[in-house]
Amino acid sequence: MRLTRADRRPAAVFFDRDDTLVHDVPYNADPAKVLPVRGARAALDRLRAAGVPIGVVSNQSGVARGLIGLADLRAVNARVEELLGPFDVWAVCPHGAADGCACRKPEPGLVLRAAGILGVPARECAVIGDIGADVRAAGAAGARGILVPTPRTLPGEVAAAPEVAADLAAAVERLIG
């Protein structure tokens, strides 16, 4: 029997940060406002226990807009790790939508950077996120994308997603069974 890509355990799993791992607070510069989404820690711990490297791939345009400083961003990300445990890699795009960078999702740069840091092929990785840009970035990098919709996810994004899971636990179940 030949294994398909969906049957193989990923070399790494990357997560969007806001509204995927933690509740979105627009341009959050305050670590005290970090609140994990239900089930995030358990889903991450399941991957850790299975020996699957995990990371965060996150657009943070508030930096480019001057709404949040890099030190504040680092403090918020440190709080995410304090609450959810350590990540093997963080790849963050501080650019705005008009900057035309290759790292801002839906471009593949963050996924490719995170995979490169871990020394694994992007095509063997998965990306879990809450909007279409997350799964499009995964696809552009050759990775597997799974959408976990929130009330803010657009119906068209759900319809266009290659895979949809009800929550983080279900997404992780798809990846490691």
- Quick check: 2 pLDDT over 70? no
Tens of pLDDT, residue by residue over 91-103, are 999 998 889 899 9
Q: Which residue has the higher pLDDT, 80 or 4?
A: 80
User: From CA 52, how far away is CA 60, in angstroms rounded?
Assistant: 25
What CA–CA distance (Å, rounded) separates 88 from 8?
20
* Residue of 18, 19, 130, 134 marked active site: 18
CA 16 to each of CA 2, 39, 59: distance values in angstroms, whole numbers, following the listed order: 31, 15, 8
Selecting among 7, 16, 45, 88, the annotated active-site residue is 16
Q: What is the pLDDT of residues 156-176, one digit of tens each?
A: 999 999 999 999 999 999 999
The question of whether 130 is a catalytic residue gets the answer no
Q: Is 16 a catalytic residue?
A: yes
pLDDT tens digits, residue range 39-86?
A: 999 999 999 999 999 999 999 999 999 999 999 999 999 999 999 999
124 burial via Cβ count (<10 Å: 0-12, 13-18, 19+):
middle
The 10s digit of each residue's pLDDT in 15-36 is 999 999 999 999 999 999 999 9
Strand partners, 45: none
Q: Residue 106: pLDDT above 80?
A: yes
Tell me which DSSP letter residue 30 carries: -
As separate numbers, helices (DSSP H) first and strands (DSSP E) second, the chain gives 6, 5
Per-residue pLDDT band for 5 (boundaries 50, 70, 90) equals low
Q: State the pTM of this model.
A: 0.94
